[in-house]
Amino acid sequence: MSRPCAGWFALLFLGTSALTSAQTARGAFESQPVGRITPTVAAAYIVRDQFNPRQNQVEVILSTAAVDVATAVTALAPHTMVINDAALKDSNYVLIWIGADGKVSMNATFSKTMTQFVDR
């Protein structure tokens, strides 16, 4: 089965912690010819569902730089705070959204060109 992002993705979260602290991550997202994202940091927090704002989703960010999740979760729009975090300015990252119904979607962003791959 061919994926629209023409890449593969694997990940492993290690440990458990409070909502506002980052954990380690391991895995990769790869797309040719753009490149590879190999995250080392993971964080998860609650956001509004972008397609149904009356519902919430869990958003997971996988990156090579830790974002300020403690500040993001107190903001009106945690997703916007995270993707605009200065730590991600020159970092590639993967966002994963997990809905209450179990549906999962993702977005991989390559910062240099702002190339994005989306899988819904």
pLDDT per residue over 58-115, tens digit each? Answer: 999 999 899 998 999 899 899 999 999 999 988 899 999 999 899 999 999 888 877 7
Q: Is 60 domain-assigned? A: yes
Structure tokens at 24: 């380690």
Sign of CA dihedral 17, 19, 20, 21: positive
How many structural domains is the chain composed of?
1
CA dihedral 66, 108, 97, 120 (to 10 degrees): 180
Alpha helix positions (H), the chain: 69-72, 78-83
Q: Is 63 domain-assigned? A: yes
Each residue's pLDDT tens digit, 19-51: 555 677 777 777 777 788 889 999 999 999 988
Q: 17: pLDDT confidence band, cut at 50, 70 and 90?
A: very low
Task: Report d(CA 6, CA 18) in Å as an integer.
Answer: 34
Dmax (CA) for the chain in angstroms is 40
CB of 107 closer than 8 Å to CB of 118 = yes
Q: Is 94 domain-assigned? A: yes
Q: Is 103 domain-assigned? A: yes
Q: Is 1 domain-assigned? A: no
Expressed as residue numbers, the domain containing 110 is: 7-119
| Single pTM value for the model | 0.75
Q: Could you identify the residue written with the tokens 């300020």?
A: 68
Q: Is 23 domain-assigned? A: yes
Structure tokens at 9: 């993705």
Q: Is 53 domain-assigned? A: yes
Q: Is 25 domain-assigned? A: yes
